[in-house]
Amino acid sequence: MDDFLFSDEPNDVVEPDSNGVWKVIVVDDEPEVHAVTKLALSDFEFQKKRLEFISAYSGEEARKVIQAHPDAAIVLLDVVMETDDAGLQVAKFIRETAKNNHIRIILRTGQPGQAPERQVIVNYDINDYKSKTELTAQKLFTVVMSSLRSYRDILAIEQSRQGLEKIICASRDIFSTHSLDHFIKGVVQQLTSLLGTVDEAIYATSLVASNDSTHNADQLVVFTGRGEFESCEGKPITEVLTQEQLQACSTALQEKSIVYKDNYLFAYCTSEFNHSSMLFVSGIPDFLTDTQKHLIEIFSQNVQLAYENVQLQAEVEDTQQELVYRLSEALEQRSTETGNHVKRVAHICFALAEGYGLSRRDAELVRMASPLHDVGKVGIPDAILNKPDKLEEQEWQVMQTHAEKGYEILKDSRREIVNAGAIIAKDHHEKWDGSGYPAGKQGESIHIYGRIVALADVYDALRHKRCYKPAWELEQVVAEINSQKGKHFDPKLVDVFNSIIDDLEAILVKYPDKPSN
């Protein structure tokens, strides 16, 4: 018979299967209502998923079940149970306390007069309202089907929202990358966030225009890699990928699309600069949703833009660094010092800064700005600058002005490197005990950049020949710097110096003085 509410069939529960289930919470104080509801929907299936029924027999029990199953799709909710409005209070709890806006609420009542439909619809966030006497098996089937479709669509919207948020975060993170070395690491991290798992990755690129009909996989060269591909930089992808992978790569290039194969993918990347690039990622999940595939499509284009952004940033910084080096080397040539002093000091500063605990960005900034430490010597006469003998008191006073002169030349710049150079120029002759110049600063009132360059400059100067002295042996230099711990130099910085002395000596070997003519 059509009105299933009077059926007396047994209480069958559909077991979950491998395709997953739709959870339906049945809340009613009459056990037979639970039984006939399950019977009427026993063969229900939507998107190859069956129903899993969860029972509650009071408003209080319903609250616990709702909190225990936040992923439930539907609640079939009786209005009148232990109180006349128990079901309404559960509906209010679901939306306001549990903050569950996804679950579809279908109110059922055997006493519709006690809770008028219009009033309930207006005052409570429910999705349907049915009298038990009108809710036949067919109508129950229809209302459950429509509610599941709504629930499915709500989940899709929520997944899209979360995916968009992830894309925004991922794009922000890769666009904030300033180092080409960190680029692929950032890409893999963000893909892991989007997909849940990623094993290995390659970013291969070519300067050939993407609209070149002769463009093929052989022209792509590995720019950077992760996992087993970390050591493949500069190699053609034909040397690092299998034949099957190369075929998938060629397909992605020809179709300018994303190709999914087994547990890996190739994503074609391009931008307004018309550079063809390919992102290869392995270890992806076996099943990707349409939403995830859409996110990968968006992300692959952002990757190309981010790559070019990092390239441009690196080019700007390399240009700045080269200009700084050339200016500093020009000053060295004016004195009797021979080249590479500024390069050595720069790399020594970076090592000391990292050992001291500065961020990588600050360490890079000290490295890039340190060559400007003696820029003020441009205002010092040659006779004083290159005097082989000890300077007279008046000459020494003139020499000391180079710190302030350097600061005046570099100050008030809108460029981060130049501003750091101004700080270094002014503070690198200050001493920890306050006996330095130009301001007699003491301890931590001396900027850390200045403290680092002070030690690096002295170490390199002592280890190399100058017009006024021969090069010192390592043991002499280490003894001298340690004797100045807490006097000339920051004590903590001296400890760092001692701990990385082998690394510092390697820098001296890598950048030796150029032979004089």
- Separation of CA 375 from chain center: 38
- Predicted pLDDT at 215: 42
- Give the CATH number, domain containing residue 63: 3.40.50.2300
pLDDT in tens, 403-438: 999 899 889 888 888 899 999 999 999 999 999 999
Residue 387 to residue 405: CA distance in whole angstroms? 20
Residue 486 to residue 490: CA distance in whole angstroms? 6
Question: CA 342 → CA 209, 333, 407, 491, distances in Å?
Answer: 40, 12, 18, 24
- pLDDT band with cut points at 50, 70 and 90 for residue 508: very high
Q: What is the mean pLDDT of residues 169-188?
A: 58
Q: What is the DSSP pairing of strand 74-78 with strand 21-27?
A: parallel
Indicate whether 202 and 349 sit together in one domain: no
Structure token pair of residue 115: 């809770």
Q: Provide the domain limits for residue 258.
A: 176-309
Identify the CA nearest to 278 among candidates 265, 292, 262, 260: 265
Residue 482 to residue 495: CA distance in whole angstroms? 9
pTM: 0.48
- Predicted pLDDT at 359: 93
pLDDT in tens, 250-303: 898 888 888 988 788 898 877 655 567 888 888 887 777 777 787 788 777 777
Any idea which residues carry the catalytic annotation?
A: 377
**What is residue 465's three-state secondary structure?**
coil
Residue 64 to residue 58: CA distance in whole angstroms? 10
Identify the CA nearest to 202 among candidates 171, 224, 234, 233: 224
Indicate whether 251 and 145 sit together in one domain: no
pLDDT in tens, 327-341: 766 666 555 455 678
Cα Rg for the chain, rounded, in angstroms?
36
Which range (96-100, 165-169, 405-409, 441-445) has the least confidence? 165-169
Indicate whether 377 and 302 sit together in one domain: no
Indicate whether 52 and 151 sit together in one domain: yes
Does some domain include residue 37? yes
- Predicted pLDDT at 217: 46
Mean pLDDT of the chain: 81
Does some domain include residue 314? no
- Give the CATH number, domain containing residue 381: 1.10.3210.10
Residue 255 to residue 259: CA distance in whole angstroms? 9
Does some domain include residue 456? yes
CB 166 within 8 A of CB 193: yes
Does some domain include residue 162? no
**Of the ranges 263-272, 305-314, 390-399, 431-440, the best mean pLDDT one:** 431-440
Indicate whether 124 and 230 sit together in one domain: no
- Predicted pLDDT at 50: 92
Indicate whether 297 and 416 sit together in one domain: no
Indicate whether 199 and 228 sit together in one domain: yes
CB 228 within 8 A of CB 218: no
Of the three residues 157, 184, 217, the one that is the final residue of a domain is 157
**Of the ranges 112-121, 180-189, 221-230, the best mean pLDDT one:** 221-230
Which strand ranges, in their side-by-side order, compose the sheet holding 221-226?
221-226, 200-209, 275-282, 264-269, 258-261
Residue 293 to residue 69: CA distance in whole angstroms? 28
The answer to whether residue 174 scores a pLDDT higher than 70 is no
Indicate whether 419 and 453 sit together in one domain: yes
pLDDT in tens, 50-73: 999 999 999 999 999 999 999 999
Residue 423 to residue 426: CA distance in whole angstroms? 5
Identify the CA nearest to 372 among candidates 400, 402, 393: 402
Does some domain include residue 323? no
* Phi, psi (deg, nearest 5) at residue 202: -135, 140
Question: CA 42 → CA 39, 107, 313, distances in Å?
Answer: 5, 20, 62
Identify the CA nearest to 335 among candidates 468, 432, 220, 449: 468
- Predicted pLDDT at 442: 96
As for how many domains the chain has, the answer is 3
Can you name the residues that pair with 479 across neighbouring β-strands? none
Of the three residues 309, 326, 350, the one that is the final residue of a domain is 309
Indicate whether 355 and 428 sit together in one domain: yes
Q: What is the DSSP pairing of strand 275-282 with strand 264-269?
A: antiparallel
Of the three residues 102, 124, 157, the one that is the final residue of a domain is 157
The answer to whether residue 313 scores a pLDDT higher than 80 is no
- Predicted pLDDT at 400: 92
Which range (70-79, 155-164, 176-185, 222-231) has the least confidence? 176-185
- Predicted pLDDT at 211: 40
Indicate whether 204 and 305 sit together in one domain: yes
**What is residue 160's three-state secondary structure?**
helix
Which range (319-333, 348-362, 413-427, 474-488) has the least confidence? 319-333
Indicate whether 504 and 359 sit together in one domain: yes
* Phi, psi (deg, nearest 5) at residue 325: -60, -45
pLDDT in tens, 3-53: 444 333 334 433 434 458 999 999 999 999 999 999 999 999 998 889 999
Does some domain include residue 412? yes
Does some domain include residue 60? yes
> What are the strands, taking DSSP E only, across 264-344?
264-269, 275-282
Q: Which amino acid is at 283?
A: G
- Give the CATH number, domain containing residue 249: 3.30.450.40
Indicate whether 8 and 92 sit together in one domain: yes
The answer to whether residue 132 scores a pLDDT higher than 50 is yes
Does some domain include residue 516? no
Identify the CA nearest to 448 among candidates 357, 372, 368: 357
Residue 46 to residue 427: CA distance in whole angstroms? 73
